[in-house]
């Protein structure tokens, strides 16, 4: 929630320049790694509010909104879908308080490390706190019983994770380059850190080590 509010002005700037440049009749917006919590709809309402205000200022008609919510297929899309009716009513009655363009929602299951939309079909891509999840654990590593980069990991482990991140991000960008229209916008929020230490607990969650210990204990019990 903090990341969503810290990045609000960046989204506003991006959607304002996108809309003002072309005054499109429809806007296709995708939230990648939407999960099932309230953040995805709060981003959607923020974007719709910005566009509706622009329409009033520029005296033009509202576009229709096509909202694509993407996550892995195991995501609980239904809990987001169940809240859509009340979301639309609240947005119209309490926030916008006048007419707004129609809003159509679509669930898009699948990994964003592959193509998930047709060519040039999206105007605006948003993704928050999702892109630092890699597509897979790097292959062929002996990580000494750790499940992530840890103080006891051999030095090639953090390099392998870094390479995997580079490969994944490059695939992500290539796919989105095909899916976005020319002049489309993308706002990505990724967890990062300010130093070279991948184990610095100020930036990285230290629960992984606890989880690794618990998992190793379980494995040992099976082996006994």
Ligand X SMILES: C[S@@+](CC[C@H](N)C(=O)[O-])C[C@H]1O[C@@H](n2cnc3c(N)ncnc32)[C@H](O)[C@@H]1O
* Per-residue tokens: 160: 């392998």
**Which stretches within 133-195 are classed as H helix?**
155-179
CA–CA gap between residue 136 and residue 161 (Å, rounded): 9
CA–CA gap between residue 12 and residue 47 (Å, rounded): 7
CB 131 within 8 A of CB 154: no
* Identity of the residue, 142 or 178, whose beta carbon is nearer to ligand X in the bound complex: 178
* Identity of the residue, 65 or 113, whose beta carbon is nearer to ligand X in the bound complex: 113
Of 54-62, 85-93, 125-133, 213-221, the segment contacting ligand X by CB under 6 A is 125-133
Judged by CB under 6 A, the number of residues near ligand X is 19
Nearest approach, Cβ of 149 to ligand X (angstroms)? 18
* Identity of the residue, 113 or 161, whose beta carbon is nearer to ligand X in the bound complex: 113
Nearest approach, Cβ of 127 to ligand X (angstroms)? 7
Cβ contacts of residue 45 below 8 Å, gap of 6+? 87, 91, 95
**Interaction of residue 129 with ligand X, rule CB under 6 A:** yes
CA–CA gap between residue 84 and residue 14 (Å, rounded): 25
- 18, 34, 51, 55: which one binds ligand X (CB under 6 A): 34
Of 64-72, 98-106, 153-161, 173-181, the segment contacting ligand X by CB under 6 A is 64-72
Nearest approach, Cβ of 116 to ligand X (angstroms)? 8
Of 13-21, 31-39, 85-93, 208-216, the segment contacting ligand X by CB under 6 A is 31-39
Pairing of β 64-71 and β 103-109: parallel
- 29, 33, 103, 160: which one binds ligand X (CB under 6 A): 33
**Interaction of residue 146 with ligand X, rule CB under 6 A:** no
Extract long-range pairs of 162-166: CB within 8 Å, 24+ residues apart: 163/138, 164/134, 164/135, 164/136, 164/137, 164/138, 165/132, 165/134
CA–CA gap between residue 166 and residue 147 (Å, rounded): 20
- 30, 55, 62, 128: which one binds ligand X (CB under 6 A): 128
- 68, 87, 113, 124: which one binds ligand X (CB under 6 A): 113
Which residues of the chain form contacts with ligand X (CB under 6 A)? 4, 33-35, 37, 39-40, 70-72, 75, 111-113, 128-130, 133, 135
């Amino acid at each position: 929630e903090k990341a969503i509010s810290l990045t609000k002005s960046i989204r506003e700037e991006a959607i304002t320049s996108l809309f003002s440049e072309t005054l499109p009749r429809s806007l296709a917006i995708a939230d990648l790694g939407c999960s099932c919590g309230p953040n995805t709809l709060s981003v959607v309402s923020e974007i719709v509010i910005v566009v509706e205000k622009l329409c009033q200022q520029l005296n033009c008609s509202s576009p229709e909104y096509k909202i694509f919510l993407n996550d892995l297929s195991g995501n609980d899309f239904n809990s987001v879908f169940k809240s859509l009716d009340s979301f639309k009513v609240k947005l119209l009655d309490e926030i916008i308080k006048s007419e707004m363009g129609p809003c159509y929602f679509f669930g898009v299951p699948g990994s964003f490390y592959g193509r998930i939309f047709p060519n040039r079909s999206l105007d605006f891509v948003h993704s928050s706190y999702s892109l630092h999840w890699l597509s897979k654990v790097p292959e062929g590593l002996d990580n000494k019983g750790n499940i992530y980069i840890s103080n006891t990991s051999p030095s090639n482990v953090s390099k392998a994770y870094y390479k995997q991140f580079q490969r994944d991000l490059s695939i992500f960008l290539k796919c989105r380059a095909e899916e976005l229209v020319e002049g489309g916008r993308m706002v990505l929020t990724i967890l990062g850190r300010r130093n070279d230490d991948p184990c610095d607990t100020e930036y990285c969650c230290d629960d992984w080590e606890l989880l690794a210990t618990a998992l190793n204990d379980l494995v040992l019990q099976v082996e006994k």
